[in-house]
Structure 1
Amino acid sequence: MQIKELSQATGVDVETIRFYEKQGLLPPPARRDNGYRNYAESHLERLSFIRHCRALDMPLSDVARLLSFLDEPEMHCGDVNDLVDQQLSRVRARLKSMRALEKQLMLLRSQCRESLGGHCGILDELVSAAHGEACACHRADSLA
């Protein structure tokens, strides 16, 4: 199949497919007589695997390592577990960070008194922060 067909079958952009080839994540496809790339079913499977890993927000370096485990099945499964555990730790750290961000935004939102007098509590807080002053969402006691 041509690159456009591979792209349609996997939902991966053509430029991304070319990037994955350059990075060595996808093996180079055979070429037709006219010079066009000719992707096989194995490319489709490998690209689908990469896409799934990326949907799990795994970095390309981890995807490459997982692909090496696929290519060499005699490698120890514990290494795969370690990669997934590391990704899980990264996700948990981001979740913690996102909860803190949510709390900050809630504190900022609580500054709105919906006045019509031209004073917006949220904007006042953001301007204060821009001037290096403490604001509702960044006070040390508000993040505990």
Structure 2
Amino acid sequence: MKLISQLSKETGIPIGTIRFYEKSGLISGQTKKEVTTNNYVYYDEETVEKLRFIQMSKAVGFTLAEIKEVIDAWYKKQLTKKAKIDVLNKKLLQIEEKMKELRAVKKQIAICKHNIEHEMEP
């Protein structure tokens, strides 16, 4: 069990962001019932896994709403193997589409750059 500062240090995620994820329902911690003198919240290894999943998912373009949907189903064992693969395949298609769009924008920028480099000075 880890305190939020330890969780932050281990994952590299700022404490404020971890608290935001908790308020958003992406993760949760627990207090120790036997300790009544403080309001410390403790996090388990599953929380570390979820935070790493959130980081990875954000890096490839998942929204927090999409991440919450997957985390809720994944960790509550509500998604079948096929459903998990379907979610990931859908995201892979979205990423591929985004890459096509970015390649088209890159091509247009290269054309503009070429035109500027080769235009005649007045």
| TM-score in same-fold range (> 0.5) | yes
Query: Residue 113 of structure 1 corresponds to which residue in structure 2?
Result: 118
Alignment of 1:90-105 (within 5 A): 90-105=94-109
Identity level (%) = 27
TM-score, normalised relative to structure 1: 0.68
* 8 A Cα contact 2:8 2:14, kept in partner: yes
Q: Cα distance, 1:113 vs. partner?
A: 3.4
Greater fraction of residues in helix: 2
Q: Cα distance, 1:4 vs. partner?
A: 1.7
* 8 A Cα contact 2:28 2:43, kept in partner: no
Matched position secondary structure for 2:118: coil
Distance in 2, matches of 1:28 and 1:14, equals: 13
The CA RMSD over aligned residues, in Å, is 2.3
Alignment of 1:18-33 (within 5 A): 18-30=19-31, 33=37
Q: Work out the number of aligned pairs and report it.
A: 117
Distance in 1, matches of 2:21 and 2:5, equals: 15
Query: Residue 9 of structure 2 corresponds to which residue in structure 1?
Result: 8
Structure ranking higher on relative contact order (CA contacts 8 Å, 6+ apart): 2
Distance in 2, matches of 1:19 and 1:74, equals: 24
Give the greater-gyration-radius structure (CA).
Answer: 1
Query: Residue 84 of structure 2 corresponds to which residue in structure 1?
Result: 80
Q: Cα distance, 1:114 vs. partner?
A: 7.9
In structure 1, stretches of 5+ residues that fail to align are: 120-144
* 8 A Cα contact 1:62 1:83, kept in partner: no
AA matched with 2:60: L
TM-score, normalised relative to structure 2: 0.79
Distance in 2, matches of 1:51 and 1:30, equals: 25
In structure 2, stretches of 5+ residues that fail to align are: none
